[in-house]
Amino acid sequence: MLHISPDGPALTVKQAKILDDEFFQARPLAYFSARIAALLNALSDQSTVTNVNATGFLEALGDAELASILDHGESDRDLQVALDSVSVRHHAAEALVRMLHAVVVSKTRPGDAVCVWAAIADGPNSLHTVAQELAEALNGDTSAFARAFFPASKAHSSEEVQAFGIAWAWVLRSIQLLTDNNLTVNAAHNKVKHGLAVRTRDDVRIELLRGDGPIEDGTIPLSSFGPDKSIVIFDRPMITYLARPYPPHKQGLELVSLRIDPPAVLAEGWMISWVYASLFHVAAANHGSTPEGGLAPYPAPRTGPTPAQLLENSGAAALGYRGSVTTSPDQSFEPRPSGVFFPGFFQEMTIDFENVTTATVVD
């Protein structure tokens, strides 16, 4: 319990110090690293939960045996990891952007003492507002991010300067994840945390054939697929959700499917959390908090990868597909074209649902 009590409507200097003294004892990089490690372990560990390591869980339920309580298969676990990978990445992105907003943009309310924890808690609800205010502040003060990222009174090596550029690229990637209006990735995260209104699958593979389709006997040779013969759209777990593009409540409902490669998504989440932890350490040092265990260490500089390099190294095919479900109630908005998003470009695509055919791939 914190030794703090109300002393009027404004946050006092004493209260602000107590709050930030507590807040800055956190270890954010360790937190995200632990979550990522658990998900990576889940991908590789095929062991099942036993009564021994679920003792507290069973006691809480009032059951003596696990029996069929936690029934699930390997596919179920893989889908859970895919979904949670997106959540971890998005959580890290929002933590980073809101921390940067708090130290670069936020102004204390009249009468309040400066408090980073309160600035984050009282920040704008809308991520679009956060991103817009942050962009305006950073464009108006080109050294603001450097002050937030680099520890004070320290000469910077060439490696650290390079790390600064890498960090800035991941700030931009975080903002894109939170505000992109094409695949509306932020909506995917929201649909996960607000009722699990998503569908995950790992049994769908979609490729576009460059050559001929099924032959007369209803088969397609396996040799018809491969480099320069077909274009891979989905070959990993996919998350499908319903969303309306920004601005909300004015446009029609869209159905979006994201291709999720969990290791690559988790790598993105870690790079974003590395930048966040750097900002967190600098803000804590500027606050002057000296907890008994010391501040969480300033992370070692990273000279890569950039978001583009990580995407390229992961061999990503398509990023996702977007299609319209309903038209807009506001007639001034036309339905957005359906199609597939690849790294760097959008390929409009109309699917002929009326003339679907089936075929069997044969070797």
- Position 293 scores a pLDDT of 64
Quick check: 97 and 131 in contact, CB under 8 A?
yes
Best CA proximity match to 120, nearest among 139, 93, 100: 100
Q: Residue 113 above 80 pLDDT?
A: yes
Range 159-182 average pLDDT? 96
Q: Residue 289 above 70 pLDDT?
A: no
Half-sphere exposure of 71 (CA within 13 A, CB side): 3
- Here the tokens at position 46 are 């095929």
List pLDDT tens digits, range 58-75. 999 999 888 889 988 899
Q: Residue 42 above 70 pLDDT?
A: yes
Determine the length of the chain: 363
Q: Residue 133 above 80 pLDDT?
A: yes
Q: List 331's β-bridge partners, or say none.
A: none
Instruction: Compute the distance between CA of residue 202 and CA of residue 183 in angstroms, rounded to an integer.
Output: 20
Task: Quote the strand ranges of the chain, DSSP E.
Answer: 198-201, 206-209, 219-221, 230-234, 238-243, 254-259, 320-324, 339-342, 345-348, 360-362
- Position 292 scores a pLDDT of 66
Q: Residue 294 above 80 pLDDT?
A: no
- Residue ranges of domains in the chain: 13-362
Q: Residue 55 above 80 pLDDT?
A: yes
Q: Residue 232 above 90 pLDDT?
A: no
Quick check: 265 and 40 in contact, CB under 8 A?
no
111: confidence class by pLDDT, cuts 50, 70, 90 = very high
Q: Residue 46 above 80 pLDDT?
A: no
- Position 291 scores a pLDDT of 63
List pLDDT tens digits, range 30-40. 999 999 999 99
More confident residue, 315 or 177: 177
Q: Residue 18 above 90 pLDDT?
A: yes
List pLDDT tens digits, range 19-31. 999 999 999 999 9
Quick check: 82 and 257 in contact, CB under 8 A?
no
